[in-house]
């Protein structure tokens, strides 16, 4: 038993934790009214997510033992540029979203976040931002009809 525990990897622990949280969520969700697929009750969503989480956790646990043992890698220094740009993109989204609207806020968060990856170019960031603007307008403004103006001045 002791050798078995010693051979466990991080993925085993992560998969087991996800499985346990998923089972607990599914069991707790079952205490609420389930409803049907067309009229979901308050227990439907947490139960469904719990089952999905438990299945993913079980798959991670099983697959962790299949691959080759992990190779020790040289520890890399923290990516301060990436951390800063990702945090700045979230702040820019909030500020620009309040004063500029959905389109410029989406552009800001995607473009600034794309620059956090050293391999991305400005051109890639612009293309990714344009694609995400189209997707966000279609999903949030047109399909979901959120009360978030596309453009706002001031």
**Residue 144 confidence class, pLDDT cut points 50, 70, 90:** confident
Q: What is the mean pLDDT of the chain?
A: 88
Distance of alpha carbon 126 from alpha carbon 136, whole angstroms: 15
Categorize the per-residue pLDDT at 5 as very low, low, confident or very high, splitting at 50, 70 and 90: low
- Burial of 70 from C-beta contacts in 10 A (0-12 / 13-18 / 19+): exposed
54-108 per-position pLDDT tens digit: 999 999 998 887 766 666 678 888 889 999 999 999 999 999 999 999 999 999 9
Evaluate if pTM is beyond 0.85: no
Element (H, E) at 80: helix 80-99
* pLDDT level of residue 154 (50, 70, 90 thresholds): low
DSSP 150: S
Using CB atoms within 10 A of its CB, is residue 105 exposed (0-12), middle (13-18) or buried (19+)? buried
Confidence of residue 115 (pLDDT cuts 50, 70, 90): very high
Domain spans of the chain, in order of start = 8-64, 80-143
Confidence of residue 118 (pLDDT cuts 50, 70, 90): confident
89 closest CA partner among 106, 109, 116, 114: 109
Burial class of residue 153 (count of CB atoms within 10 Å of its CB; 0-12, 13-18, 19+) = exposed
> What pLDDT is recorded for position 135?
96
What's the pLDDT at 9? 75
**Of 14-23, 30-39, 111-120, which gets the smallest average pLDDT?**
30-39
The pLDDT value given to residue 66: 75
Dihedral of CA atoms 139, 142, 145, 150 in degrees, nearest 10, equals: 90
């Amino acid at each position: 038993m002791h050798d078995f525990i010693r051979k466990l990897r991080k993925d085993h622990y992560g998969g087991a934790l996800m499985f346990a949280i998923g089972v607990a969520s599914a069991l707790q969700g079952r205490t609420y009214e389930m409803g049907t697929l067309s009229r979901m009750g308050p227990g439907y969503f947490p139960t469904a997510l719990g089952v999905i989480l438990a299945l993913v956790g079980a798959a991670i646990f099983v697959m962790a033992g299949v691959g080759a043992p992990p190779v020790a890698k040289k520890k890399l220094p923290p990516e301060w540029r990436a951390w800063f740009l990702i945090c700045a993109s979230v702040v820019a989204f909030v500020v620009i979203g309040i004063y500029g609207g959905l389109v410029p806020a989406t552009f800001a968060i995607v473009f600034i976040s794309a620059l956090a990856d050293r391999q991305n170019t400005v051109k890639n960031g612009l293309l990714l931002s344009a694609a995400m603007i189209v997707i966000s307008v279609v999903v949030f403004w047109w399909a979901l009809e959120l009360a978030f103006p596309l453009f706002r001045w001031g």
